[in-house]
Structure 1
Amino acid sequence: MATRWMDNDVYGHVNNVVYYSYFDTAVNAYLMEQGALDPSASAGTIGLVVETQCAYFAPVSFPEELIVGLRVAHLGTSSVRYELAVFGGNADSAAAQGHFVHVYVNGATRRPVRALPDALRAALEPLRHAPSAAASA
């Protein structure tokens, strides 16, 4: 993902709020590439962001190219928790990491769906993260 001139703030690094845009872009671009999201079909099932969080570890700045890692930490009947990490340049450590939760709703009624659409679930399954035994001990 490319940083943009307007992403930098007066301190010379990407402003904290821009990371949420990177998160949103990474998730939605992935879903569109997989055929699980059609932005023109707003009457169908849509994902509403209900929770976000980001922790910052190192600055990135324009004109750096970024790598955004994406995984699914929770795949429920109507919600998905995405976890993301932003890496600057060739860095081995994340400059930032965070999550956001989509609740999938009927586009017309805005009520949660009873089950995620099959195409969405199929796109998300490969990104599903199973906690390791060490992490749960």
Structure 2
Amino acid sequence: MFSIEVPVRFRDTDSNGHVNNAVYNSLSEEAVFALFREAGWDKKAIEATEIGPVVLKAEYTYLKELKYPDTVLVETEVEVLSRTRAVFRQDIFSKNEGILVCKVVNHGMWLDFKRKRPVPLPEEVLRKMEGKEETEAILD
């Protein structure tokens, strides 16, 4: 299990005073990319190899409202990890309320950005992601 904390910003809210549903996509992607960075696959590696993750499908189940100000805890579990695809399960919690506010299932693949074709993720990154122990990162 990998987790990050992300502050809720005022601009994340809509006219109803709760976090807009589009923001959950950003929270999910930020958590997945933080996991990649921990495994050594950062922006520089993506630019150097022109290989990176793309989302095939994302499912969001909204359970409770999330409001400003707050901090969210995004827990990410790698459910499926193959050479070319991955499925991430995520739980997004309100730290203020101590409750689960959203569940996410994210399906992705690795893409060669030049050829626009699926490609394998480098073996060393796969090994690091498979061996990921519980870690936490805080983003501010």
TM range (shorter): 0.7 to 0.9
Identity percentage of aligned residues: 24
**Aligned residues of 2:39 and 2:129 also touching (Cα < 8 A):** no
In structure 2, runs of 5+ residues without a counterpart are: 1-5, 134-140
Relative to 1, partners in 2 of residues 1:42 and 1:84: Cα closer, same or farther, differing over 3 Å? farther
- Aligned to 1:28, what secondary structure does the other structure show? helix
Q: Match for residue 101 of structure 1?
A: 107
TM-superposed deviation, 1:77: 2.5
Equivalent residues, number: 127
CA RMSD, 1 decimal: 2.0
Relative to 1, partners in 2 of residues 1:120 and 1:42: Cα closer, same or farther, differing over 3 Å? same
Higher strand share: 2
TM-superposed deviation, 1:7: 0.6
C-alpha distance in 2, partners of 1:101/1:127?
Answer: 19
- Asked if residue 29 in structure 1 is aligned to residue 56 in structure 2, the reply is no
TM-superposed deviation, 1:124: 2.0
* Aligned partner (choices 34, 46, 57) of residue 52 of structure 2: 46
Q: Match for residue 110 of structure 1?
A: 116
* Aligned partner (choices 60, 64, 87) of residue 70 of structure 2: 64
Q: Match for residue 131 of structure 1?
A: none
- TM-score using structure 2 length: 0.81
In structure 1, runs of 5+ residues without a counterpart are: 129-137
Q: Residues 99-133 of structure 1: CA distance to partner in whole angstroms, max 9, x if unpaired?
A: 111110222112111x32123212321359xxxxx
Deviating beyond 3 angstroms after TM superposition, the runs of 4 or more aligned structure 1 residues are 90-93
Relative to 1, partners in 2 of residues 1:24 and 1:58: Cα closer, same or farther, differing over 3 Å? same
Higher relative contact order (CA 8 A, sep 6+): 2
